[in-house]
Amino acid sequence: MTEEQAQQIAEQWLAQVVETAGQRDLKAHMGMISTHVSVQGVPGFDNIDYDIWYKQCKHQFEHAMIKSIAYKGFNHISATETQIVFTVYETVVGTDGTLNEQIVEMSLEKEDDGVWRLVQERVLIENDAMRNHETKES
């Protein structure tokens, strides 16, 4: 897979995340997340698995807590025919005015049913994130 193909798949996936969250479509949104997902680097959590993610999204969608989600600054790390790893700058705005901005490393895998799903996400601490972006841009 070329870097351009990987970026196109990842950007389509990110656009669907934004769309499903905006529509508060829990089933479609969670359909993009692997049941084997693992999220690290979130303050207050050692690891977020599928069940925790589901409960959090269900609560946020039912209470219309997310105003918007946006992604920018795609940086390709690696890609094979079944896995894409990249970093991206994520901005989540809550309906209460809260703003959460962070750089995340995401790993998408093409699962057995042919659907690309998030299998791993890592919130990067600021110094690591800055270093990763400087490396990719230079």
- Give the pLDDT mean for 16-27: 95
User: 3-7, 18-22, 93-97, 123-127: lowest mean pLDDT where?
Assistant: 123-127
Q: Domains in the chain: how many in total? A: 1
Q: What is the mean pLDDT of the chain?
A: 89
Give the per-residue pLDDT at 43.
78
Domain span including residue 39: 3-137
Predicted local confidence at residue 126, as pLDDT = 57
Give the chain's end-to-end CA distance (angstroms, integer): 23
Counting residues of the chain whose pLDDT is more than 90, the rounded percentage is: 79
Say if CB 99 and CB 74 are below 8 A apart.
Answer: no
Contacts 24+ apart (CB under 8 A), 9-15: 9/84, 9/108, 9/116, 10/74, 10/76, 10/84, 10/86, 10/88, 10/106, 10/108, 11/74, 13/108, 13/116, 13/118, 14/71, 14/74, 14/88
For 31-64, how does the pLDDT look when each residue is reduced to its tens digit (9 = 90+)?
A: 999 999 999 988 778 899 999 999 999 999 999 9
Strand partners, 78: 85
Contact 133, 75 (CB under 8 A): yes
pTM of the model: 0.85
3-state secondary structure of 98: coil
Assign 131 a pLDDT band (cuts: 50, 70, 90): very low
Q: What is the CATH number of the domain that holds 17?
A: 3.10.450.50
* pLDDT of 87 above 90: yes
Question: Binning pLDDT at 50, 70 and 90, where does residue 117 land?
Answer: very high
Q: Is the model's pLDDT at 8 over the cut of 90?
A: yes
